[in-house]
């Protein structure tokens, strides 16, 4: 499959003409949804989910489907059954993609801030987008999308999570607030030989495309 990096937490995955869009939030250009077959939304925070944008897309394309958690689905409405609720362990197929929902809760931002539901997506058993959680898939994954910067992230949690997942490679996401210096500061902890995650680490610019297994 081909992965394209969009703004912040958003990526698209394309295979055999089918296009999955994951987490097109407020730091993502609306054109990320162009030609989408399905949209996967991990949770309700604005940097991952834009209700007006998705409602318009669902209205304009009667074949578009959205797969997400109950809170996001309640916000969108059913759109004739095209907004589908998934939870931890649920499997579903979209045009040749095999997807499993993993995880239940957003990482703690602060004890005084209520946690929201969060579901990550394991695609074809090889690529995992966690949303905003350090969920460890029950199977070995080739490619792990790593949230690089957020109020809930830190180097210790990030590195220990990558060590636990043990992917072949990591690709940075969730990084819109970082300038070049910030990217360099955090990426250096994930590079081979740094803290022993055992994974190759990649920083993609917006619009970059790579082939992933």
Total domains, the chain: 1
Q: Give the pLDDT score at 95.
A: 94
Distances, alpha carbon 205 to alpha carbons 93, 109, 132, 168, in Å:
29, 27, 20, 20
- In the chain the first and final C-alpha atoms are separated, in Å, by 6
Q: Which residues pair with 101 in a beta bridge?
A: 121
What is the largest distance, in Å, between two alpha-carbon atoms of the chain? 51
Q: Give the pLDDT score at 12.
A: 98
Phi, psi of 144 (to 5 degrees): -115, 120
Q: Which residues pair with 77 in a beta bridge?
A: none
Q: Quick check: 57 and 24 in contact, CB under 8 A?
A: no
Q: Give the pLDDT score at 75.
A: 97
Q: Give the pLDDT score at 196.
A: 86
Q: Is the CA virtual torsion 38, 66, 210, 205 positive or negative?
A: positive
Q: CA–CA separation, 206 vs 212, rounded Å?
A: 17
Give me the CATH number covering residue 105: 3.60.15.10
Domain span holding position 202:
2-209
Query: What is the mean pLDDT of each successive set of 10 residues along the chain, which is 213 residues long?
Result: 97 97 96 97 98 96 98 97 98 97 97 97 98 97 97 95 97 96 95 90 96 94
Q: Give the pLDDT score at 193.
A: 83
Q: CA dihedral in degrees (42, 44, 47, 53; nearest 10)?
A: 100
């Amino acid at each position: 499959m081909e992965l394209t990096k969009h703004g912040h937490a958003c990526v698209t995955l394309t295979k055999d003409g089918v296009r999955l869009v994951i987490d097109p939030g407020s730091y993502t250009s609306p054109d990320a949804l162009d030609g989408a077959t399905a949209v996967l939304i991990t949770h309700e925070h604005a940097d991952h989910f834009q209700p007006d944008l998705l409602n318009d897309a669902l209205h304009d394309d009667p074949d578009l489907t959205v797969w997400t958690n109950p809170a996001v689905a309640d916000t969108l409405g059913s759109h004739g059954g095209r907004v589908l609720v998934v939870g931890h362990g649920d499997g579903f197929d979209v045009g040749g993609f095999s997807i499993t929902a993993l995880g239940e809760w957003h990482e703690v931002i602060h004890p005084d801030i209520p946690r929201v539901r969060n579901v990550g997506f394991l695609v074809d058993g090889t690529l995992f987008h966690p949303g905003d959680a350090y969920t460890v898939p029950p199977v070995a994954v080739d490619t792990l999308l790593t949230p690089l910067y957020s109020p809930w992230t830190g180097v210790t949690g990030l590195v220990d999570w990558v060590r636990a997942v043990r992917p072949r490679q990591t690709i940075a996401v969730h990084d819109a607030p970082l300038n070049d210096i910030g990217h360099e500061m955090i990426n250096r902890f994930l590079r081979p030989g740094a803290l022993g995650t055992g994974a190759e680490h990649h920083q993609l610019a917006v619009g970059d495309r790579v082939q992933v297994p």
